[in-house]
Structure 1
Amino acid sequence: MEQGQVQLYWGEDDFAMAKAVEELRQAVLDPNWVSFNYDKIPSEESDAAIRGLNQVMTSPFGMGGRLVWLADTTLCQQCSENLLAELERTLPSIPQQCVLLLTTRNRPDGRLKSTKLLQKYAQIREFSLIPPWKTEQLVQQVRTYAQEFGVKLNSAGAELLALSVGNDTRQLFNELEKLRLYGGDASKPLDENTVAALVISNTQNSLQLAAAILHGEQEKALELVTDLINKNEPPLRIVATLVGQFRTWLWVKLMVSEGERDSKIIAAAAQVSNPKRIYFLKQEIQSISLLQLQSVLPMLLELEFCLKQGSETMSTLQTKAIQLCQICAGFPGTSSL
């Protein structure tokens, strides 16, 4: 490296961030001198930041560079005047071949002087999870990582893979590795049939749950809830998929009810990457009212709140699934009437 570096990684995508940290480690450190030149300092230590700043000012021993990692740092959320002064003194003066890495799951607070200082001296990378309903971004993420893996996918295959793994980058990497091994050196892109045969799709099962709720099929919805939990699908991910799907249905229904007929305009509003899907989405929501769809989202947000407050997973999901089915079926006494 030509100069000292400061790297700030932030966001909730732990897997993608961990991969980037490992890539940085390999780029900076000589494997024979790691024990001399690598420090990971957890935020729980009372003097973590000061210790990290002191360490990064020491030139590396032997070959390679030095990497000092302040893990789960709170520097971008709170910073004392004394610590700010140390940052101002240290960041411009980090020795050549030394790298200071700061990681945090929280968005840096742009109002803080420490954040503004890091914006001046650090290379900042965001590792936020893509919301499950932003299908176009998820498809683009699949295409980007597929290119890195050397996996060729046709458009339908990329869309199905994005739909199957959602925003779970760990599963995406695992599935792409599987597809890479299967495809070998084949020049022909893998299609949706190959993806469907090889990819594990809990998200797809969550979409089946959304469809069962939409059609008021209580028994099927309860079976799918049980199946998803038995497969260890995270409950909040199930809810996120439901929110994304019902949000899409709501937008399509709203646009259609306002007289919009252009599929491209509807697709843009609903954040659907392929306008051809709009025809099928219209068919899916033909027999449900706009008011019913509007009643579903608050209940899904209530479900998310209950799960985050520690409610028992299975019974909570089952109860809400029944209530949601009743709303969509238009049962008397539900909030959709």
Structure 2
Amino acid sequence: MVIDTWKKIERLQFANIYLLYGNEPFLINETKQKLIEHAISPEEMDFNFSVYDLEETPVETAIEDAETFPFMGERRVVILQNPVFLTAEKTKEKVEHNVKKLEQYISSPAPYTILVIAAPYEKLDERKKITKQIKKQAEVVEAKKLNERELKTWIRQRVSLNDIQMDEEAMDLLIALAGTNLMMLTRELDKISLYASETNRIDIEAVEKLTARSLEQNIFSLVDKVVHRKIDQALRIYYDLLKQNEEPIKILAVLANQFRLIYQVKELSRRGYGQQKIASFIKVHPFRVKLAAGQAKYFTDEQLSYIIDLLAQGDYEMKTGRQKKELVIELFLFKLQEQATITH
């Protein structure tokens, strides 16, 4: 996993070539940053660090730099960004690349250079000789969107860098509150880890106390309160969102997305789809599917259809000015509470 590569870098165990690819930019950027921080000193940056955008610069120019001896230091770091020739995606190349030069370099890399190939693509073209060669010779970091198990492993490893342990329930709550965006999770984990530095343990209370909620997670909590007939708490969350200057029309849109997701998860589960397959099919994170599945059991198909119709009607009333925007959602919440009451 990517954090295993980070640990090697922090122990100054460098590979000559790194291939970073995938659709999770946070992991790619974090790996690049760790290499820069540990491989060369700030004083060497001007002399021994280079970044080349291969959408603008021929690869052979970057290779010439990689073959140049470092100046006033032990090593060079050369980063190749956007290697369009590694992907099967149709892209209009602005420059021609002498890929043979890269092939020759990879077969015999300069021992004093760390060459980093950062390919922000979900898939590489495995049919190409250069792709096979790089994968064989380089340390490969696949920066993909993490599933729930991988996400929890990543969180454990992330806090362990500060010698801190995190309770399982605390991890579940953090993901539910902050979502699955790694940049946001990192910010929250760093903050909570600082708070837990004396006990070296993050529990559910610390997460509840310190985690910032995204709009989507606030609305998930709002729906959850209504599902469990806690209408006062649901309204409190809604009024807090208004105080934070969140637009009612935006809140309504996220509510509609959440109930559509609940409906889709319920229907696909009935057809025999597992949560991982559902996530892949409707292109959302598996953890969102898991949470939606938990909420789906409180609604019948007819109730969900009615709720989605209510939301569509509310959207129409907001956009046509037939009803005061704030009042539309208040009325919706009371009607939703009535539906939730029927299920109990």
Short-chain TM bin: 0.5 to 0.7
Over residues 218-241 of structure 1, what are the superposed CA-to-partner deviations in whole Å (9 max), with x where a residue is unaligned?
A: x97xx5997599569xx9xx96x9
Alignment correspondent of 2:130:
114
Instruction: Say whether residues 1:191 and 2:207 are aligned partners.
Output: no
Q: 1:201 to 1:181 in 2, by over 3 A?
A: same
Q: Whole-Å Cα distance in 2 between the matches of residues 135 and 225 of structure 1?
A: 29
Q: 1:226 to 1:176 in 2, by over 3 A?
A: closer
Q: 1:32 to 1:96 in 2, by over 3 A?
A: same
User: Which runs of no fewer than 5 residues in structure 1 stay unpaired?
Assistant: 300-311, 313-317, 330-337
Aligned equivalent of 1:145, options 158, 176, 189 = 158
Aligned pairs, number: 284
Secondary structure in 2 aligned to 1:149? coil
Secondary structure in 2 aligned to 1:128? coil
Alpha carbons 1:4, 1:96 under 8 Å: kept? no
User: Aligned partner of 1:175: which letter?
Assistant: E
Alignment correspondent of 1:123:
139
Q: Whole-Å Cα distance in 2 between the matches of residues 61 and 9 of structure 1?
A: 26
Aligned equivalent of 1:289, options 301, 307, 318 = 301
Alignment correspondent of 1:98:
113
Q: 1:126 to 1:27 in 2, by over 3 A?
A: same
User: Aligned partner of 1:196: which letter?
Assistant: E
Alignment correspondent of 1:83:
98
Aligned equivalent of 2:83, options 48, 56, 73 = 73
Over residues 175-223 of structure 1, what are the superposed CA-to-partner deviations in whole Å (9 max), with x where a residue is unaligned?
A: 1121122112215x332222111000114214236659989x9x97xx5
Q: Whole-Å Cα distance in 2 between the matches of residues 175 and 44 of structure 1?
A: 35
1:56 Cα offset (Å): 0.6
Alpha carbons 1:16, 1:170 under 8 Å: kept? no
Q: 1:171 to 1:55 in 2, by over 3 A?
A: same
1:33 Cα offset (Å): 2.4
Instruction: Say whether residues 1:155 and 2:152 are aligned partners.
Output: no
Alignment correspondent of 1:45:
56
Alpha carbons 1:152, 1:190 under 8 Å: kept? yes
Alpha carbons 1:88, 1:117 under 8 Å: kept? yes
Q: Whole-Å Cα distance in 1 between the matches of residues 158 and 303 of structure 2?
A: 40
Q: TM-score, normalised by structure 2?
A: 0.64
1:140 Cα offset (Å): 3.1
Q: Whole-Å Cα distance in 2 between the matches of residues 142 and 245 of structure 1?
A: 28
Secondary structure in 1 aligned to 2:47? helix
1:155 Cα offset (Å): 1.4
Alpha carbons 2:263, 2:304 under 8 Å: kept? no
Alignment correspondent of 2:3:
none
1:173 Cα offset (Å): 1.6
Q: Whole-Å Cα distance in 1 between the matches of residues 267 and 203 of structure 2?
A: 31
Q: Whole-Å Cα distance in 1 between the matches of residues 47 and 67 of structure 2?
A: 14
Q: Whole-Å Cα distance in 2 between the matches of residues 156 and 172 of structure 1?
A: 16
Q: 1:14 to 1:53 in 2, by over 3 A?
A: same
User: Aligned partner of 1:125: which letter?
Assistant: V
Secondary structure in 2 aligned to 1:34? helix
Over residues 224-283 of structure 1, what are the superposed CA-to-partner deviations in whole Å (9 max), with x where a residue is unaligned?
A: 997599569xx9xx96x987886567546665x68x9xxxx988887888xx989x926x
User: Aligned partner of 2:113: which letter?
Assistant: C
Instruction: Say whether residues 1:205 and 2:218 are aligned partners.
Output: yes
Alpha carbons 2:78, 2:116 under 8 Å: kept? yes
1:65 Cα offset (Å): 0.7
Secondary structure in 2 aligned to 1:69? strand
Structure 1 window deviating more from structure 2 (201-210 vs 68-77): it is 201-210
Q: Whole-Å Cα distance in 2 between the matches of residues 164 and 113 of structure 1?
A: 45
Structure 1 window deviating more from structure 2 (119-128 vs 80-89): it is 80-89
Q: Whole-Å Cα distance in 2 between the matches of residues 136 and 290 of structure 1?
A: 33
Q: TM-score, normalised by structure 1?
A: 0.65
Alpha carbons 1:50, 1:86 under 8 Å: kept? yes
